[in-house]
Structure 1
Amino acid sequence: MPTISIRAHGTSATRNQTVVNPATGEIVKLTAFQPPERTATKGWTPNVARRNEQRLQQIHFDGIDGVPAFVTLTMPSQQMSDVSAAMFHGWLKRWLQFMKRHGMLHYYWILEFQASGNPHIHVLVWLDHTPEPLETYKALRSWVGILDKSGVGARVQGQIWESIDVGGELVVDGETVPAHPERVLMYLAKHAARGVAHYQRQIENMPEDWKNRSGRVWGHDRGLPLRAQQDVECDYATFHRFRRLVRRWRLAEARAIKDSVRRRAAIVQARSCLKCPRPDVSPYRGVSAWVPAEVASRLLDAAKTMGGDEREED
């Protein structure tokens, strides 16, 4: 049976893959035999990107205390051949420890690779105070100092600290994003999920040591407030109606975007979110969207009570 999942900021509807238990003859979910892959993997995979997006959709942003900031940490690509994944994650661990000693309450980080092969980390941090310019400089300088001790000549000028002033804008990977922790992480999640084939996630662009075992490519602190996910199993009629309602909601949201270029792209994406080139797969293709929990719940209630054909619209 299909399952509809509702999270704080997102929803998804998927068709459960089932198999017959050879011992009991019971029909069970495939995941009972094939647990999802964990993060000691070869970088970004579809499952890793999906879990990252779903975890971001669970964050209880209103329950997070602190002053948010967006940090990008980089390093020179010329020395990446001598840097293992274990070394890099050790540097990140030490930098996070430094930040905890200086007032960091929570964090969420995402690892990406540039076309040159060197990794950079996006970190959203929440501090227990509003930092002075000297404090932000010391935070970036601490990352450079950690690398210097390992013989890697990073520069402070290559690191970025941006305060998140709600209501304004900031630039993330060259894109202008509304200045709000949720919108920043939403952009990064969409950026990660839109295609593992993106050059920033291709194994070919990773250093040799990383291709076999990259370690985690996203993470957060254990105390980050999360909301529990609600899973509802339904019949196929409800599954199909819910998919169509989510698409309509996405279209309405896209048409409300003021920027004409972004609006056009969002409308195209919304219209095609249920399409698949394989006619045998298309009617059962799952849907995933950043939808507030209260909206997703109303859409699910409507899908349960609506009549009409189960078949998908063309």
Structure 2
Amino acid sequence: MTTVSDGHAVVHAPPASDTPEMLLWEPKFPSPRGLDMAASMFDARPTWAGEEGPRPRIIIAAGAFAIEWPDLARKDRTHERTEKRRQAAVDMAATYIAAGEELPERIPIREITGWSRKSRARMVRALCEIDYRPMLSDRTRIPAMVTLTYPGDWLTVAPDGKTVKRHLAAFRRRYEKAWDEPLKAIWKLEFQRRGAPHFHLLLVPPHGLSKMPGARATSAAKVGAGRPFREWLSAVWAAIVGHPDPEERARHLLAGTGVDYSDGLKASDPKRVAVYFTKHGGAQAKEYQHCVPESWVGPGLGPGRFWGYWNLERVTAQVEVTPEQSVQAARIARRWAHAQRTTRQVTVIRHRGGQVLPQRPDIIGLAGAQILEPVAAPRRRKVRRRVRRFGAGRGFVSVNNGQTFAIAVARALSLPGITQYISRSVRTEVLTSVSGTSLT
């Protein structure tokens, strides 16, 4: 960043296009306009006319390729039941209001103790389907990873998850007022080893100085006014958290935030963004970052969602295909994912070997001795196993360019003999996916 002085104030000018940081960052975010073209290359089946049963479809995004088998008739009935329950809740609330009584308080019963695997998978797919071009449209601004932490005595200002989420919402409002632009960002919640929560946000920091509020503005709106982004960030976040102890607040003002452009430069395509957020604290050695502290374990005390995004949209294109085409596409995507040699760390149970007793006729080899007369308790061992995608013909894969990947799959399906020749194993897989039972 260069600095230009106008004689009165120091203004941080935007970096030139030939600066080192701009030369290092080469974004490769595909345009969503090509998704419809990629979807048109598949042989679409006739439009749904209300018949029962699953209808497989292929979903294409900027950084993801997915196959689903939704039952549209069942979804329609589920939607009708949801609408009836919502209408019943509205009628009950109207009855209480008409009688002049207060609505009964909803007592939470759910306890959140950690970040589930389903939530992680949903985050990866969502981040691969987001259109990042509105956030990265200005090439004079490079993305950065912003960190928001809490002071040493964090329980005083963050007694539960709702309070922390209110702090995050307040930060978003103050950003939009101070910089006069909507905050386009991706955020993720993690926990330090001491239990304190902290947020990681991928955003594009603004240039220049924050806006000066009017004379009638509140004292909160004047915090950090007329400062560059780093100084504004430290002042505003310390004011939002607002620790009552002056010493804790002073230390939090100095070390409560961070802006890392080197991590922001890694956001070059949708897959890299998703992988970075997944691995950021996702290693097995740092799994504690996804464990809720004991003081937050209880009904209504949990953190709620661990991730989210602001002012960004998920853009996808989908096409309904025949079950045979869906199975073939899933096989192609599964083999491609297998060739990537992606692994994950799992915990397995290992039994220590027993001693072979030849005088026992009912024991066969070491395995029999190990089962009948173990010499030690089983132990757990961490190993890495190959990740298997599209196990039941459903799922998704993260790719660097979903349009290119979908076109390659469509071309493979159009090869001579691919769609006409369906082997017995493929027919069995199709029937299994439709009926939900295994066939012999």
User: Which residue in 2 is equivalent to 1:108?
Assistant: 186
- Deviations along 1:118-145, one digit per CA (max 9) or x if unpaired, are 2111111224436799531321232122
1:72 to partner: Cα distance = 0.9
Structure-2 separation of matches of 1:178 and 1:156? 26
- TM-score, structure 2 as length reference: 0.50
Q: Does 1:4 align with 2:61?
A: no
Of the candidates 55, 62, 67, which is equivalent to residue 13 of structure 1? 67
Higher relative contact order (CA 8 A, sep 6+): 1
1:119 aligned residue (188, 192, 197):
197
Query: CA 1:287–1:125 in 2, change beyond 3 Å: closer, same or farther?
Result: closer
SS in 1 for 2:263: strand
CA distance in 2 between counterparts of 1:236 and 1:209 reads 45
1:157 aligns with 2:157: no
Structure ranking higher in helix proportion: 1
8 A Cα contact 1:4 1:231, kept in partner: yes
Q: Residue 146 of structure 1 corresponds to which residue in structure 2?
A: 240
Q: Does 1:58 align with 2:58?
A: no
Q: 1:244 aligns with which of 326, 331, 342?
A: 331
Q: Does the 8 A contact of 2:130 with 2:315 survive in 1?
A: no
CA distance in 2, matches of 1:219, 1:41: 20
Q: Distance in 1 between matches of 2:232 and 2:330?
A: 48
Aligned-residue CA RMSD in angstroms? 4.1
The aligned counterpart of 2:162 is: 86
Aligned counterparts, 1:162-173, within 5 A: 162-163=260-261, 169-170=262-263
SS at match of 1:230: strand
Cα displacement (A) at 1:56:
1.6
CA contact (8 A) 1:84 1:210 kept: no
SS of residue matched to 1:28: helix
Q: CA deviation at 1:41?
A: 8.2
Structure with greater proportional strand content: 1
Q: Which residue of 1 aligns with 2:144?
A: 69
Q: Give the drift of 1:60.
A: 2.1
Q: 1:90 to 1:137 in 2, by over 3 A?
A: same
Taking structure 1 as reference, are residues 47 and 130 closer, same or farther at Cα in structure 2, changes over 3 Å only?
farther
Q: Are the aligned partners of 2:65 and 2:399 in contact in 1 as well (CA < 8 Å)?
A: yes
Q: In the alignment, is the contact (CA less than 8 A) between 2:58 and 2:67 conserved in 1?
A: yes
- Aligned-residue offset at 1:194: 7.2
CA distance in 1, matches of 2:231, 2:331: 49
- 1:256-299 residue CA offsets vs partner (Å, 9 max, x unmatched): xxxxxxxxxx5546x933369xxxxx444523323423123214
Q: Which amino acid aligns with 2:122?
A: R
Distance 1:170 1:203, change over 3 A: closer
Other-structure match for 2:307: 218
Report Cα offsets for 1:211-260 as digits up to 9, x if no partner. Answer: 754233222223x2x353222333343233323333454466x5xxxxxx
d(CA) in 1 for partners of 2:330, 2:281 = 19
Is the contact made by 1:70 and 1:162 (CA closer than 8 Å) also made in structure 2? yes
Q: Which residue of 2 aligns with 1:274?
A: 388
The gaps in structure 1 that reach 5 residues or longer are 19-25, 164-168, 172-176, 255-265, 277-281
Do 1:114 and 1:199's aligned partners in 2 also have CA atoms closer than 8 Å? Answer: yes
Change (3 A) 1:59 1:179: closer
Shift in Å at residue 45 of structure 1? 3.3
Distance 2:281 2:336 in 1: 20
Alignment counterpart, residue 208 of structure 1, candidates 279, 297, 315: 297
Which region of structure 1 is more displaced relative to structure 2, 1-10 or 227-236? 227-236
Q: 1:185 aligns with which of 273, 279, 303?
A: 273
Q: Unpaired runs of 5+ in structure 2?
A: 1-53, 83-109, 211-226, 345-384, 430-440
User: Which residue of 2 is the match for residue 279 of structure 1?
Assistant: none
Check conservation: 2:58, 2:318, Cα contact below 8 A: yes
